[in-house]
Structure 1
Amino acid sequence: MCGIAGFINADRGCDDPQGRISGMLAAIAHRGPDGAGYVLDDGLAMGTVRLAILDPAAGVQPISDESGRYWLCYNGEVYNYRELRETLVGLGHVFRTDCDTEVVLRAWMAWGPDCLKRFNGGFSFALYDRRQKDLFLARDRYGKRPLFLARHGETILFASEMKAFLAVPGFRFEQDPAQLASILGQWTPLPHQSGFRGIESLPMGEWARVREGRIERFVYDELSFAASETISSEHEAVERIRAQLTDAVSLRLRSDVEVGVYLSGGVDSAIVAALARELTPHPLSTFSVEFEDAEFDESAEQRLVAEHLGTRHHARRISHADIAEACPDAVYHAEVPAFRSAFIPMFLLSQRTREAGIKVILSGEGADEAFLGYDLFKETLLRAAWNELPEDMRRSRLERLYPHLAHYGPKDIAAVTGLYHQFSAEKMPGLFSHELRFQNGQFSARLLSAPGDPFAEISALVAGNPAFGSMSAVEKAQWLEYKTLLPGYLLSTQGDRMSLAHGVENRCPFLDPSVIGLASSVNLRFDDGFTEKRLLRDAFRDRLPGAVADKRKFPYRAPDAAAFAARRPDYLDLVLSESELANLPFLNAKFAQRLATKVLTKPADEVSTKENQTFLFLLSIALLDRFFVQRQGLGQAGGSSALPPLQRAVDLRAEATPHASQGNFASLT
């Protein structure tokens, strides 16, 4: 796991490329505190800050082939690198390291962009072809690792995190109201969005070629939920799930440093921990977030699993004060507006994890998307069939809809019945499954003085996918989750950014392509979809405490506005002061101030979910403006990092043509 950054100039000019690339890498040093390296050529500079996990001694970056034609800066892990290496050796490639970075380089040399389809992992990388003067950029198929691009005059910039652009002289950040409207509407950036004007994210499953100032984009992987396997019985389905997840965890335990597990208290992370414990030769370390507020706390289940498996368990107990204090730092690392505070405890948990000496963790992220664990999928099934169901069956399914809600009773069922009558037919083309969620998004969009249509871009996204129209209602819901909340929030704001803020790599076995493919082959085949993840639970029931194996989904949440109301940190002036709100001219300042005042002064039970979400959006937008647009408070938010120890610095500008040299694999400082 690492961070990458760089730039390429169409006019081949830059006054101080060494100073600029060093500054960009220093801004993302938290991603790779173990070492840094860069390569310079006419009009190009790119580099890496490294978190040493595989082959720590020899896997220094950037790395090149023997001829010096190809240079790679790489972030992430390709978990099936050993199998790919064996194939490449058979093709005549000779390896100088034991890390996956060199496998990625030689896979590109062997197969070009087609190699991306062979990779099972989470990654983004920049590969420079010195002979052709082409720069290739690529990102994994599920968006686990970030990669941003921006134009700055004749220069194209790229980096794992946008904060690297703060080090580029003359570069200015500006929040984009059109993108913000979209983010507020569906709670998360779309695959290409960053929230800032002129900066875009390379979408998951895509690669790009930069040539003479032009960016060409190509899709190498399209989401599909069509059954890829023929499963003849429920017994076979359970056996296949058990075997496939075991393989996925085994691949993600490949590391030259110790691997730990995040325990949430739910069944998904417990399964991952159980498998890791069986497959790990040493005692397993587990890590959890505990909350002082009992409404959010799952520590009893976390400890139950840890004791059952005999792990070395570590917990980070979170108070309202912790959330309020850490919020600015977490927002700075997140870089995009957030609709909940749950990412802040994950920021603190990764800090605790790194303090315990762990650089790599596994988590249960992706299980609900693959195995239809969210209420969203049950709601979609029921709403899609609503007009065809008799009254007694409607009520029976409504009663099974929210088993995790302790006070879900007759009055609630009556209210939901009315809502489902209203939303039983599609109102927004292609977005049927998410229409209920988007009601909250419409409220949040009121933060903007001119929100336009917050759903125009997501409507265009689904309309532009030829296969989307032929999907079932539930498959469309999955597609939307995999394209929006999963990469835009769960894997980034709450995942990659919070873990890498403290130099911890997160790995997700449920996001193995084979696991997702298998899930699509068994979902809804042996049950009606209303018993949450039954096949998955049955596959591992004998390895888990019964209380956890049978526990219904308890969504991971953290105290939102209540945490800030209790502590009232000074930075709340950003959303309460008329003069501060005036710095954000695209906001509806009166609405924003009125909302902030209400959620910070009224009792928590008088603040609705949509008001909580909108307040968090408002606060994070204001903090992002402070850090990135006004460039204030960066020192307090971790914005003054130093470059890690320089392990490789290669200057190719004196060489007329690519050729083998000691500089390709040796450190030149």
Structure 2
Amino acid sequence: MCGISGWCDLGQDLTGRAGAVAPMVAAMACRGPDAEGIVARRHAVLGHRRLSVIDLEGGRQPMSGDSPGDVVITYSGEVYNFRELRAELTAAGAVFRTTSDTEVVLRAYLHWGEHCVERFNGMFAFAIWDERSGQLHLVRDRLGVKPLYFAALGDGILFGSEPKAILAHPGFTPRLDPQGLVDLLGLIKSPGVTPFHGIEEVPPGTVVTHGTHGRTTRRYWSLDRVPHTDDAADTVRTVRDLLTDTVERQLISDVPLCTLLSGGLDSSLLTALAAAARSREPGADPIRSFAVDFHGSQDDFQGSEFRPERDTPYAAEAARHIGTDHSVIELSSDELTADAARLAVLRAHDLPLNFGDVDTSLHLLFRAVRRHSTVALSGESADEVFGGYVWFHDPEVVRAPMFPWLSRMELLTPDLLAPDFRAATRFDEYRADTYRDAVAAVAHLPGDSAHERRMREISHLHLTRWLPVLLDRKDRLSMAAGLEVRVPFCDHRLVEYVHNTPWHLKSPGGEPKGLLKQAAGGLLPASVLRRRKSPYPTTSNKLYEKDLRTRVRQLLADSSSPALDVVDGPGLARLLEQPDGWFDTQLRRNSLETALSLDLWMREHHLTAG
């Protein structure tokens, strides 16, 4: 995995302007600690920071085509079918200099043009400067696993894996986009929108082209509705086969690889499939697996509807059953409350998107895992694909005209927005309008029942508006530690197939993720298969709540806080009147955490809401 950045301007000679891109490349150092490179052409400068995973010596970037200066690529990600594509391109006459997937992507572009992306299976974001046509292509994978941003600079364009790359260019000045901030605080995730004025995100499944005729956007993939013709048994078999193939592809690595094992269905199934594939390799060591826990959690933990059980015992049982080399990373309250940890998470995100100790502990987990492995497999997105969240199965939420996850969680409740900011940005209307637009984008077949249509709408909303939030979070926090996290449940073949599977097959008998449980048959302990959905763990230590309250009181006492133009101070103060112990879960802490994150983010970038 890597970090990319660059600058293209058809009206300027950029040959000697590599120095302006150098700080953009430096800003991506966390994503690529192993190597860096800058290539300057007359109208484009491309930069790269590399995390070496495949072809450690030959995969250096930016990488050029055979004719000097004709085509240059800076690439981040993995194309898992690169071996098949390499064979196809070789048969067509291509000659390869390396064994990297980067060169496969470059030669695929030289052979098929920008439509080559439709042949790729993987997670990727890359930029290709084509000197022949005078065009810069910015390309992002179908589900948006890998990030990519861009911004206009005069008549030119800046781009980078993260906003921080664009912000590092000396010619770009950060400003707040209030509507973009509302989009983020409302957990809406409209494609392309950011809270930085002028910075846009390349939407998933999209190619953005900058050339002599201006800028064009082409969507090359979307979730279509097609008939599902398989019966129940064939559906289960197909899901199992797709997952097996996906995991086997995603085990390809020239560096140490592990799994993130929580003891839940999703991560346990991926770990079992990975272990089975590894066992077929002669002399291979067992798969390593890692879980996270909090110091004292065995005594502090109290079960709830949202989080009924601790992960650690289930992770240990799954590891024993599967036969992994398992480790538990245990975190203390001091680590979770450290100023340095909070700041690291903020700078990793570039955004005031913070789920508090959930994000801090995830980043600390990734840092610990990185000491042993460079690549990790994660069970992210199985709940979105297979309908695992509790609100998928709540009739009131299913009927409600709203983004379903807002029934249980919000970053900042609307009543805690400053009245002037809420009115000026039309927060409530904006969220309602965005919901209607998102539902209108869902495809149906004429014969779909009302219930089938509604469940497919809810599935589509999760895959296009909620999953991107989680993928961004995992990408930033892992790459800030120099760890590449792969997400097999985001394989577009699996997503397409399950999205078109009727709800009664996806959730047989009303069983959450019943289809996935059937596909996991024979691979996992019965206790893991029967286990209720339990989200990523949070600390129950009262020292964390005490620290959180103290930080929010300090914010409220500082009249210069820029966050108080966005957050309602009196409302936040009233929230603090809740008794000790009330902020015992992430859901109740979200508003406090968001206010703190917003304050730090606005100060860091000298932003105001005025």
Amino acid across the alignment from 1:491: L
> Which moves more between the two structures, 288-297 or 520-529?
520-529
1:282 aligns with 2:285: yes
Please identify, of 513-522 and 438-447, the stretch whose mean Cα deviation from structure 2 is larger.
438-447
Cα 1:508–1:48 change in 2 (3 A) is same
Moved more, 11-20 or 116-125: 11-20
What is the 5 A alignment of 1:115-194? 115-185=116-186, 187-194=187-194
- The two structures, once aligned, show a CA RMSD in angstroms of 2.8
**SS state at 2:499 partner:** helix
Distance 1:331 1:560 in 2: 22
Equivalent pair of 2:137/2:209 in contact (CA under 8 Å): yes
Partner residue, 1:486 = 467
Matched, 1:467 2:443: yes
Structure 1 residue 547 and structure 2 residue 527: aligned? Answer: yes
Letter in 1 for 2:53: I
Distance 2:86 2:485 in 1: 23
Per the alignment, residue 97 of structure 1 pairs with 98
SS of the residue aligned with 1:141?
coil
* Alpha-carbon distance, 1:15 to partner: 9.6
1:348 corresponds in structure 2 to 364
SS at match of 2:6: strand
CA contact (8 A) 2:417 2:568 kept: no
Asked if the contact 1:30/1:501 (under 8 Å) is kept, the reply is yes
Map 1:226-375 → 2, pairs under 5 A: 226-228=226-228, 230-232=229-231, 234-280=232-278, 281-292=284-295, 293=297, 294-295=301-302, 297-325=310-338, 326-338=341-353, 340-341=355-356, 342-356=358-372, 358-375=373-390
Specify the alignment match of 1:197 in structure 2. Answer: 197
- d(CA) in 1 for partners of 2:577, 2:320: 43
Higher deviation after alignment, 583-592 or 120-129: 583-592
1:58 corresponds in structure 2 to 58
Cross-structure match for 1:558: 538
Report deviation, 1:439. 8.0
Alignment partners' CA distance in 1, 2:551 and 2:412: 25
CA distances 1:92-113 after superposition (whole Å, capped 9, x unpaired): 1111111111111111122222
Give the whole-Å Cα distance in 2 for the aligned partners of 1:503 and 1:202. Answer: 23
Could you say which residue in structure 1 is the equivalent of 2:449?
none
SS of 2:494 mapped into structure 1: helix
Amino acid in structure 2 at the alignment position of 1:497: R
Offset at residue 435 of structure 1 (A): 6.6
Distance across 2 between alignment mates of 1:360 and 1:218: 31
What residue identity is the alignment partner of 1:504? L
Contact in 2 for aligned 1:368/1:374 (Cα 8 Å): yes
Q: CA deviation at 1:434?
A: 5.6
| 2:176 and 2:607 in contact (8 A); partners too | no
**TM-aligned CA deviation for residue 225 of structure 1:** 5.0
2:407 to 436, 439, 443: 436
Shift of 1:204: 0.3
- Letter paired with 1:508: V
Residue 617 of structure 1 pairs with residue 588 of structure 2 = no
What TM-score do the two structures reach when normalised by structure 2? Answer: 0.88
Tell me if structure 2 keeps the 8 A contact 1:316–1:349: yes
Partners of 2:167 and 2:541 in 1: how far apart? 30
Q: Is residue 514 from structure 1 mapped to residue 530 from structure 2 by the alignment?
A: no
> What's the CA shift for 1:19?
1.8
Per-residue deviation at 1:529? 5.7
Aligned equivalents of 2:5, 2:54: Cα separation in 1:
21
Using a 3 Å threshold, how does the CA distance of structure 1 residues 457 and 50 change in structure 2: closer, same or farther? Answer: farther
Q: Which shifted more, 554-563 or 512-521?
A: 554-563
Query: Matches of 1:598 and 1:152 in 2, distance apart?
Result: 47
Distance 1:181 1:512 in 2: 30
Q: Relative to structure 1, is the Cα distance of residues 63 and 37 closer, same or farther in structure 2, using a 3 angstrom cutoff?
A: same
What is the deviation of 1:210?
Answer: 0.6
Match of 2:35 in 1: 35
On the 8 A contact 1:124/1:146 being kept in 2, the answer is yes
Deviates more, 1:434-443 or 1:143-152: 434-443
Residue type of the alignment partner of 2:438: V
1:625 Cα shift? Answer: 1.3
Q: Tell me the distance in 1 between the aligned counterparts of 2:403 and 2:313.
A: 37
In structure 2, do the counterparts of structure 1 residues 474 and 447 end up closer, same or farther at CA, with 3 Å as the change threshold?
farther
Instruction: Report the more deviating stretch, 536-545 or 196-205.
Output: 536-545
Asked if 1:455 corresponds to 2:431, the answer is yes
CA distance in 2, matches of 1:136, 1:148: 12
Deviations 1:236-257 (A, max 9, x none): 3332222221101001011111
* Paired amino acid for 1:511: C
Cα pair 1:76 1:124 within 8 Å, conserved:
yes
- Equivalent pair of 2:355/2:586 in contact (CA under 8 Å): no
| SS of residue paired to 2:126 | strand
Correspondence for 2:206: 206
Structure 2 residue 110 is the aligned partner of structure 1 residue 109: yes
Q: Is this contact kept in 2: 1:206–1:220, CA < 8 A?
A: yes
Does the 8 Å contact 1:289/1:318 carry over to 2? Answer: yes
Between the aligned partners of 1:277 and 1:448, the Cα distance in structure 2 is 54
Find the aligned partners of 1:606 and 1:351 in 2 and give their Cα distance: 27
Counterpart contact for 2:417–2:567, Cα < 8 Å: yes
Distance 2:177 2:342 in 1: 22
Conserved in 2, the CA contact under 8 Å of 1:123 and 1:140?
yes
Deviation at 1:538, TM superposition (A): 2.5
Residue 117 of structure 1 deviates from its aligned partner by 1.6
User: How many angstroms does 1:579 deviate by?
Assistant: 2.4
Kindly indicate whether the alpha-carbon contact (under 8 Å) linking 1:265 and 1:548 is maintained by their aligned counterparts in 2.
yes
8 A contact 2:391–2:407 mirrored in 1: no
Tell me, yes or no, if the aligned pair for 2:545 and 2:584 is still in contact at 8 Å: no
CA distance in 2, matches of 1:467, 1:8: 37
String of CA shifts for 1:126-166, please: whole Å, max 9, x gaps. Answer: 00001222100010010100001112334311000111133
Q: Aligned in 2, Cα 1:133/1:263: closer, same or farther, shift over 3 Å?
A: same
Matches for 1:15-26 after TM superposition, within 5 Å: 17-26=17-26
1:224 aligns with 2:237: no
Residues 275, 435 of structure 1: alpha-carbon distance in 2 compared, 3 angstrom cutoff: closer
In the other structure, the counterpart of 1:577 is 557
Partner deviation per Cα, 1:369-414 (whole Å, 9 max, x = no partner): 11111112212xx3xxxxxxxxxxxxxxxxxxxxxxxxxxxxxxxx
Secondary structure in 2 matching 1:286: strand
Tell me, in whole angstroms, the C-alpha distance in 2 between the residues paired with 1:34 and 1:350. 17
Q: State the secondary structure of the residue aligned to 1:315.
A: strand
Q: Distance in 2 between matches of 1:207 and 1:123?
A: 12
Report 1 or 2 for greater relative contact order, CA contacts < 8 Å, sequence distance ≥ 6.
1
Q: 1:544 to 1:610 in 2, by over 3 A?
A: closer
